Structure 1
Amino acid sequence: MNKNLKEVAQVFFKLGCFAFGGPAAHIAMMEDEIIEKRKWMSRDYFLDLIGTTNLIPGPNSTEMTMHCGYERAGKVGLFVAGIAFIFPATIITAILAYLYVKYGQLPEVEPFIYGIKPAVLAIIAAAIFKLGKKAIKSTELAILGVLVLAASLLGVNEVIALLSAGVLGMAYFYIKNKTTTTIKSITPLFFLFGINATITKVSTLKLFLIFLKVGAILYGSGYVLFAYLDAELVTRGLLTRTELIDAIAIGQFTPGPVLSTSTFIGYQLSGFSGALVATTGIFLPSFLFVLLLNPFIPKMRNSKILRGFLDSVNVAAVAVMLAVLFVMGKETLIQWQSIVIAIAAIILTFKTKVSTIWTIVIGAVLGFLLLKLF
């Protein structure tokens, strides 16, 4: 393994072990690790990757790891980064699935998760601050960002908000600059796997096809994943809703992408082979989407009209992160203990050079201590 590939594997394996808090937090940790510490690319280009990644199906933060791996070590780096990031969550989830099947209950980790959540808020806030300074290049983009923030807080689907912002911004900047450049069309390639066969028993092939379909069409959060899996598994009698809720809970409190839920469900339905094919199926489309999309991003930046689209989508992506931060803050900062942890995390994040990973660890320990002592 060459030096760059080894570095990619190490960085994303480490992030995969500590990436709690959902896509916004994962991307914030990547920004700190990739841009601040290692300077693999400019913050502007990192923003381009975020903006375009939000427009394709699949787990956005996992796809961002693939983009970063591609930039650092080529096509092989794409696969190494994605696998290294997914691997820790998959292994942890598989072990928990085994224990769940054997003992019928989940481990008690709530005190640690309680402390991680407010720490994650500070990490996301720092990333929004740094990325926002780069994304807001004009008054018009600032206004567009405010509009997307308002739309997101009102419940508008984030993909619709991003696409609308991109089209609106592209049209505005095209008219403003009176560009007459010929538009070079770049058509994103999206796949929709029409796998609707009735499932009578759970074979590894059928499990693979179910999760391949979900991975190919999934947009949104873990709650959207819950709806997809409910339709594919619960309504067909393959899983009870209680088992599905437990599986989603596992995905929420393990590090890495929430799609590691697939590992847990796959094990429940077909043992370790089921865990393997379910995990492969749900993540495979993301590898293909990023492999196809990545080469087009520099071309989009070099096109005058598509540059306006990209700038608008970028500022919209930061606005969506801000909306996520606001909602998470309302849900998390409801007791004095969580507020204390959030303040400590803000000081660590903004006033020191402590790694985001250590901020997560300190938050988890504080959560455990404050809940147990008070």
Structure 2
Amino acid sequence: MNGSVESKFDVRPQAATYTLFQLILYFLKLGTIGFGGPVALTGYMYRDLVEKRNWISEADYKDGLALSQLAPGPLAAQLAIYLGYVHYRILGATLVAITFVIPSFIMVVALGWAYVTFGGLTWMQAVFYAVGSSVIGIIAFNAYKLTTKTVGKDWLLWMIYFIAATVTVITETESILLFLGAGMVYWLVKAPPNWKRKKSSLKSYEPISIMMLLGSAMQSNTGVLWNIASFFSKAGAFVFGSGLAIVPFLYGGVVKEYGWLNAQQFLDAVAVAMITPGPVVITTGFIGYLVAGFSGATVAALATFLPCYLLTILPAPLFKKYGKRPGINAFVNGVTAAATGAISGAVIVLGKRSIVDLPTILFALVTLALLWKSKKVPEPIIILVAAIIGLIVYPLVQ
């Protein structure tokens, strides 16, 4: 049975030039030292796997980015899962998902223990003051690189890009309808379907075939762990926009609906997510720890990431089988341009929260200048130096 399904949908790319173990080690490292949130992490993957190592083709990367934007859940984790799927299918996707998430999960659990044990993280505001603005510089640089690579010189793609960026800045959210609309417009302009065909077929509705979004939410009102599982599975299954959009959704449930945390505790949780590497939505692990200890952290993290895992590997075969057809290719290009525009718009949205005075402006500009002039400066070193300087500068400006 499995063999027949695999043969039906499995359209393999060229043989992998790397081992599964090498890929796992890469994502373990990225999950351990990859700062900057989804925009930066997707940029790192492009730089390392497409440009430097040539493990992943640019076409496969673009397919993964488009699918990650179409499906709900954390963008960076979904892209990582898809890239693991490209050559090593379900085994690769599963191992990449685990190794990418587990380092930051361990970190947020440790920080959650310290938070509970020592009555709060009073030093965190000082660290986040500098790190947050430096991260904006990292994100801006990676957004620039991603834009130049994915949009190119096509005027229609640039129009889609600017519209998506503008909408993201104005609404401070990312809309799935915007991505789907961009894909449909570019498809109709660049590779319109043949409406004269007598019989309808999958080819006539190629972009429609890849909009297979599945969702699941556990329904139970008994026990705090069940409530955690129910709420965070909804966050993972139904919230679009990755770290940018999930924060207000989490606030509404964690603070307003359930009253698990107060507003200050929630802000501390968001700060933890920003100063730790890996996916921003790993903050769900920190929140879960504050609510119900290690069990709460584990349930919250699993409930958040399991839907995004399924929503990546289930549609992936259709991307591999039909992604090279003109209609699908045009649709993906349109979605990718919109996604890149939204990512660039998110730089401004996040920057308004992190860059608040002259020192934070300098942190962001110096970080951007360092990355622009010297591509050899590791981002974790920049983050570490910014954190140390923040501990010194923050008390002086408050």
Judge same fold: TM > 0.5, yes or no: yes
**Residues 341, 367 of structure 1: 8 Å contact kept:** no
**Residues 219, 230 of structure 2: 8 Å contact kept:** no
For 2:51, which of 20, 36, 50 is the aligned residue?
A: 36
For 1:151, which of 155, 167, 175 is the aligned residue?
A: 167
**1:348-367 matched pairs, under 5 angstroms:** 348-354=370-376, 355-367=378-390
Task: Provide closer, same or farther for how the CA distance between residues 163 and 182 of structure 1 changes in structure 2, counting only shifts above 3 A.
Answer: closer
Per the normalisation by structure 1, the TM-score is 0.86
Task: Provide closer, same or farther for how the CA distance between residues 74 and 193 of structure 1 changes in structure 2, counting only shifts above 3 A.
Answer: closer
For 1:285, which of 307, 321, 328 is the aligned residue?
A: 307
Identity across matched positions, percent: 27
For 1:291, the aligned partner's letter is I
> In structure 1, what is the Cα distance between the partners aligned to 2:327 and 2:27?
34
For 2:368, which of 335, 341, 346 is the aligned residue?
A: 346
> In structure 2, what is the Cα distance between the partners aligned to 1:260 and 1:269?
15
Q: Paired residues, what number?
A: 370
SS in 2 for 1:76: helix
SS in 2 for 1:189: coil
**Residues 216, 282 of structure 1: 8 Å contact kept:** yes
SS in 1 for 2:191: helix
**1:136-285 matched pairs, under 5 angstroms:** 136-137=151-152, 138-155=154-171, 157-175=174-192, 182-184=204-206, 186-199=209-222, 201-202=223-224, 204-222=225-243, 224-230=245-251, 232-234=253-255, 237=258, 239-242=260-263, 243-285=265-307
**Residues 86, 256 of structure 1: 8 Å contact kept:** yes
Larger deviation, residues 46-55 vs 68-77: 68-77
How far the C-alpha of 1:145 sits from its partner, in A, is 1.7
**Residues 125, 325 of structure 1: 8 Å contact kept:** yes
> In structure 2, what is the Cα distance between the partners aligned to 1:115 and 1:232?
29
Unaligned runs of 5+ in 1: none
- The RMSD of aligned alpha carbons is 3.0
**Residues 193, 204 of structure 2: 8 Å contact kept:** no
**Residues 244, 346 of structure 2: 8 Å contact kept:** no
For 1:101, which of 85, 107, 116 is the aligned residue?
A: 116
After TM superposition, which residue ranges in structure 1, 4 or more long, deviate above 6 angstroms? 176-181
For 1:112, the aligned partner's letter is V
How far the C-alpha of 1:290 sits from its partner, in A, is 1.3
**Aligned residue in 2 for 1:20:** 35
How far the C-alpha of 1:157 sits from its partner, in A, is 3.6
> In structure 2, what is the Cα distance between the partners aligned to 1:329 and 1:245?
16
> In structure 2, what is the Cα distance between the partners aligned to 1:25 and 1:158?
20
**Aligned residue in 2 for 1:56:** 71
